[in-house]
Amino acid sequence: MPRRADRGHASLPFGEPVAQGASRVAGAGTAPADGGGQELPGNPWLTIAGLYDRVDRALAGALPADQVWVRGEVQSISDRTGHCYMDLVDPADGGGEPGRVPVLKAKCWRTTWAAVRRQLATAGAEITPGTVVLVRGTLDVYRPRGEIGFIVSQVDVTALLGAMAERRRALVEALRAEGLLDRNRSRPEPALPLRVGLVASPGTEGYKDFLGQLDASGYAFRVTVVPATVQGTLAPESVASAIAALGAAVVDVVVVVRGGGARGDLLAFDSEPVARAIATSALPVWTGIGHSGDQSVADLVAQHAHSTPTACGHAVVARVAEAARALGDASRSVLAGATQALERSHRAHVDARRRLAGAARGQLDRGAGAVSGRAIRLASQGRRAVQRAEDRVRQQAARPVPLVRLGLAAAARTVEGRRRLLAAYDVGRQLRRGYTLTYDAAGRVLRSVRQVQVGGSLATRFADGSARSTVAAVDVAPATGGAGGAAAEPGDAGPWPPEEERR
């Protein structure tokens, strides 16, 4: 088990004493037992071990024999293998330039640190960088490194709680001065909070307790969960970021829950990032943090604070149930009013129908005779009108027949002329008359001998097939001058198809 080195002995890591065989001297001018040095007349000198012995005696004479209290600001802290290591500086030097302010290397061994941690957790305190602590312990010289350290045996938790209470008070006052303490309470309260944005650590008891209330209610809640770390040094920023993320979500209320625990487990909800995130949220924020009796700064700035996650879930369900009851009362009132209005309308309708039926029967009786006479007259007039219409239809039906026949004959002649014209341009017909088509190797139609090259391949199409040939020679007819006209190409047979075919 780690223990503090006896006074006058250098200490190894974790306070283990130097082995009995280590080189030591009683003071200046005394040679070590192993002959590690010598004494010169008039020029005494010390071995390293002898120098540290003098340091040990100087420390023992300068400080109380038991232990001293030291007040310092935590510059860094780590908890490795159960031991706690802290770098302490004077509070006034906390923001000084590294390497230029005095630093005390403090160590708290595993057995002592476990007890201190329990005290801190019970009191709801935490030591983090920037915390000013009051610690008790002894100085320790670690000879292999030439380092003076401080072995912590006690932490003044009461002083630490006082500092934390002061920081909390200062935060609340700052929020009040900025108008943030009551800002979220001024947000419109959700009348029907069925869309819930939940900030919690999934799987924890607080998470389950809150959702259990919603699940058991039977209402159609839609919960958007943004996971967050709710304990430790990373918790403040994690919770604040989750609240900010829900500000852009489609929810009616943001709920922050964390189950019960030691007061130290709830420190994140006394932090400035969480308090400001809740206070400045555009949505109403409800909290259910810890258990009965706990009240954090987050609870102070929230629109509604509840003692536990279960109570918070119950409050959300109660608000929905209240809205449902109000809606049910309004529905019943509307239904009753509508029923009465329908009954009154039905009675008025029955009376009006009875009156209308009597009036209609009188009108029908009076109009029956007039209608009968008019019907007889109309029937006679109708027969005559029908007869006249039939005569006109027969006359008009006979007139279009000759015109239609003339039109059809003219259309037939036009169609026949166009058929003959199309036949004149039919390539197959020209091939049957003896004409041919000549193509080059690429399949292009050749229209001039100048397009033919010696040695080139030609394909000639006939009416009944095609033939392939190779050009042995090309004879180009000389150009014949005309009166300003171009020379005719050899083999040019004039326009195609011939004039007689086009006619």
Question: Which residues, 6+ apart, have CB-to-CB distance to 226 below 8 Å?
Answer: 197, 198, 199, 242, 245, 246
Distances (CA, A) of 459 to 435, 438, 441, 442: 14, 6, 7, 10
193 prior amide bond cis, ω within 30: no
Question: Which residues, 6+ apart, have CB-to-CB distance to 27 below 8 Å?
Answer: 46, 50, 53, 54
**Cα gap 253→265, rounded to integer Å:** 25
Kindly give the confidence (pLDDT) of every residue in the chain, 503 residues in length, as a single tens digit, with 9 standing for 90 and above: 333 333 333 333 333 333 333 333 333 334 343 333 444 455 578 888 888 888 888 877 777 656 788 888 888 888 878 899 999 998 876 555 666 788 889 999 999 999 988 888 777 677 888 778 888 888 888 888 888 888 998 888 877 766 777 777 888 889 889 999 899 999 999 989 999 999 999 999 999 999 999 999 999 999 999 999 988 778 899 999 999 999 888 999 999 999 876 666 777 888 889 999 999 999 999 999 877 666 788 899 999 999 899 999 999 999 999 998 988 777 777 887 888 888 888 888 888 888 888 888 888 888 887 888 788 888 888 888 888 888 888 888 777 777 888 888 899 999 988 888 887 778 888 888 888 999 998 889 998 888 898 888 999 999 899 999 999 998 888 876 544 444 444 444 444 444 444 44
Tell whether the torsion through CA atoms of 204, 207, 209 and 214 is positive or negative: negative
**Cα gap 100→90, rounded to integer Å:** 12
pTM of structure: 0.46
Task: Indicate the length of the chain as a whole number.
Answer: 503
